[in-house]
Amino acid sequence: MSLLVIGTVAFDAIETPFGKTDKIVGGAATYISLAASYFAKDINLVSVVGDDFPEATLETLRQHHIDLEGLQIKAGEKSFFWSGRYHNDMNTRDTLATELNVLADFNPIVPEKAKSPEIVMLGNLTPSVQLGALKQLEGTAKLVVLDTMNFWMDIALPELKEVLQHVDVLTINDEEARQLSGEYSLVKAARAILGMGPKYLVIKKGEHGALLFNSNNQVFFAPALPLEEVFDPTGAGDSFAGGFTGYLAASGDISFDNMKRAIIYGSAMASFTVEKFGTERLMGLSQEAVNARVQEFVDLVQFDISLS
């Protein structure tokens, strides 16, 4: 299946207890596309950068057979920039700087050849921009997946609720699920959110794994891999979304049972991302390394109980 990825391509500057970076490449769509590229072979990326964005990175994306026709490059403008500092527990962070630059008036333009995708992955963006992108498509999508965050629940809840009407899968973290639903129990939160439009909900719990709910009251849990160190959590959720949608696209199967597998692949890609700063670890992984990582997840949770 073809995969259309819409989201930011940007610069980040990151401080963690392990070190700090200058401006490095980041952005939701960057992580998503790179993670997906290990599975899906037909990926179109729609985003915007300034002419300060390095051609070498664009070339790397192309080498990961990510089609960049939908990537607008704005002459004389600067790319979106975010800077943040993680606390010692790596679960909380302070934003040090946000420079919207080209993102301030981003109007995604989906190329003709990318208007009939089978899977759409909408990375975190203004909900109205996400909806505007969806409206350019020709209604062929079998699965629309949307990632968002608490920021939009704070300042654009009506628009977010509108775009949720057009979405099959929503991916958010546990605190965001509680905020969106007003329920503390994640089971109750999931039921409330599945009443807002999506047929599936993925609740990302970081180091505590992820839950997949569907509207038939089925639930699946995928663990996070216990790691010696989380070096830089930036992009973990986006890498998860990329592995998830990339695996679904590659296997051409959007059943609940296949979504379980896809969540394991997404979790595996996230576990790579956090091992180094930025997108470094997602570039140039071998298929053997990906398979070995997925096998670690299998070994971590599989047990043999037969109750019949």
Write out the binding residues for a second copy, residues 227-266 only, by CB under 8 A: 227-229, 257, 260-261, 264
One of 78, 220, 253, 289 touching a second copy (CB under 8 A): 220
Give the Cα separation of 145 and 166 in Å (integer): 9
The nearer residue to a second copy, 1 or 264, going by C-beta atoms, is 264
**Taking the complex as a whole, how short is the minimal distance between the CB of residue 199 and a second copy, in angstroms?**
18
The nearer residue to a second copy, 92 or 302, going by C-beta atoms, is 302
Is residue 185 within the footprint of a second copy (CB under 8 A)?
A: yes
The nearer residue to a second copy, 197 or 223, going by C-beta atoms, is 223
Count the alpha carbons within 13 Å of 10 in the hemisphere toward its beta carbon. 29
Torsion angle of the four alpha carbons 193, 194, 200, 206, in this order, in degrees rounded to the nearest 10: 20
**Taking the complex as a whole, how short is the minimal distance between the CB of residue 145 and a second copy, in angstroms?**
19
Return phi, psi of residue 134, to 5°. Answer: -60, -35
Is residue 182 within the footprint of a second copy (CB under 8 A)?
A: no
Is residue 286 within the footprint of a second copy (CB under 8 A)?
A: no
One of 58, 219, 283, 289 touching a second copy (CB under 8 A): 219
Is residue 291 within the footprint of a second copy (CB under 8 A)?
A: yes
**Taking the complex as a whole, how short is the minimal distance between the CB of residue 122 and a second copy, in angstroms?**
25
The nearer residue to a second copy, 120 or 186, going by C-beta atoms, is 186
Q: Which residue has the tokens 């899906």?
A: 40
302 CB burial (10 A radius; 0-12, 13-18, 19+): exposed
**Taking the complex as a whole, how short is the minimal distance between the CB of residue 209 and a second copy, in angstroms?**
7
**Taking the complex as a whole, how short is the minimal distance between the CB of residue 306 and a second copy, in angstroms?**
9
Of 6-14, 37-45, 158-166, 223-231: span binding a second copy (CB under 8 A):
223-231
Of 1-9, 78-86, 139-147, 180-188: span binding a second copy (CB under 8 A):
180-188
**Taking the complex as a whole, how short is the minimal distance between the CB of residue 96 and a second copy, in angstroms?**
23
Is residue 88 within the footprint of a second copy (CB under 8 A)?
A: yes
The nearer residue to a second copy, 40 or 222, going by C-beta atoms, is 222
Closest CA to 273 of 36, 41, 5, 7: 36
The nearer residue to a second copy, 57 or 220, going by C-beta atoms, is 220
Q: Which residue has the tokens 């699965």?
A: 143
Contact positions toward a second copy, by CB under 8 A? 88-89, 184-188, 205, 208-209, 211, 219-223, 226-229, 257, 260-261, 264, 291, 294-295, 298, 300-305, 307
